[in-house]
Amino acid sequence: MSNTGKSETASAISDAIRAKRERKTGIADDIASLEASLLADIEAFDLDAAERQARREQSTSVGAGMSDPSLVFPEIVPDSAPHQPKEKPVVTPASEPELKIEGGSLLGQLRQQAEIRQRELHSAVAERTLVNELIDQALKRVFFYLHDFVQQLNIVKPAIPRDYPLLEHYLLNQLSWQEGFADYRTQSQSAGALVELVTFTYRLNGIGLPVIERHGPAIERFRTMLFDYGLPFDCKEFKNQRSYVERAEFLIRSEISVSARWRADFANGLLILETRNLERLGSAVYSIRPQLVDMPLLEEFGRLVIGQANRFREQVSRH
């Protein structure tokens, strides 16, 4: 390269360096000018005026939904917090009727109804508790009487002048007391530990019956009846050549199991007496109000048990 070319190249490089330095200086000057302008704007900004302007814009551009200023919800604050009055928003007239919440009227009605309902519940609970206690006391009275009653009968073992018709002219009679037992059951402790059941069972023995013969379908009907009455028996079957039972002979032992269950019906405030083979073979049910269970009624029941004249059925209601 000639000297002239080198000189021109050096001159071009020198011009480029000088131009770059001048451009950087101009950018720095622009930045400094912008910073000064921003600082001046910040100093001159009026915060209060801006807040008032924002409120005016909000009041003129209210939308639907939860932003509706007519729907005012109370602020829940602790009792100790100081009350801070707030500026009421400007409400623009609306075509729809304003929602009004009448302070305390609905809540007051609900409170009144709740108080009435609570009094009713308390009254019902108190009444039910009283009835339950009456039933508990009545069943305790029944148990104490029967417990003493059965102990004496287990010693005396009296004759029981009662006939139990079985079939046609077949009677279970000439019976005597063998052994009896009385027991009770209570509810759980969590339920109140009230007496809910008194059981009274005993067994009578008499003179055995003669053999009773039955044929064909009557065999099974008679067998089922004896099972239902709880009568012990022996059965001898006679089959034909096709192994079909044509005839059967039943030897029935004159042993009668009698039971009387005094059960609490707390829901209806009653005592339910469920008997089996008491006056006759089979079952019977009586409803008894607990207020009726006293010594005279229990004495009538005792006379019924041992076959004496009594007025027990007249004093109670039979189902």
DSSP label at 66? Answer: G
* Per-residue tokens: 56: 């005016």
* Per-residue tokens: 237: 């079957």
82-to-73, 77, 79, 86, 88 alpha-carbon distances in Å: 18, 9, 8, 12, 18
Q: What's the start-to-end Cα distance of the chain, in Å?
A: 139
pTM of the model: 0.60
Identity of the amino acid at 239: K
Helices 105-156 and 295-305: crossing angle in degrees, nearest 10, is 50
pLDDT values of the chain reduced to their tens digit, one per residue, 319 residues: 555 555 666 676 667 667 656 655 566 666 777 777 777 766 666 666 666 666 666 554 444 444 444 434 344 334 444 444 444 444 444 455 454 444 567 887 788 888 877 777 766 666 677 899 999 999 999 999 999 999 999 999 999 999 999 887 888 999 999 999 999 999 988 878 899 999 999 999 998 788 999 999 999 999 999 999 999 999 999 998 888 899 999 999 989 999 999 999 999 999 999 999 999 999 999 999 999 999 999 999 999 999 999 999 988 876 5
Query: Do residues 176 and 160 make contact, with C-beta atoms less than 8 angstroms apart?
Result: yes
| Buried b / exposed e along 93-105 (16+ C-beta atoms within 10 A) | eeeeeeeeeeeee
Alpha carbon distance 284, 304 (integer Å): 14
Query: Do residues 204 and 178 make contact, with C-beta atoms less than 8 angstroms apart?
Result: yes
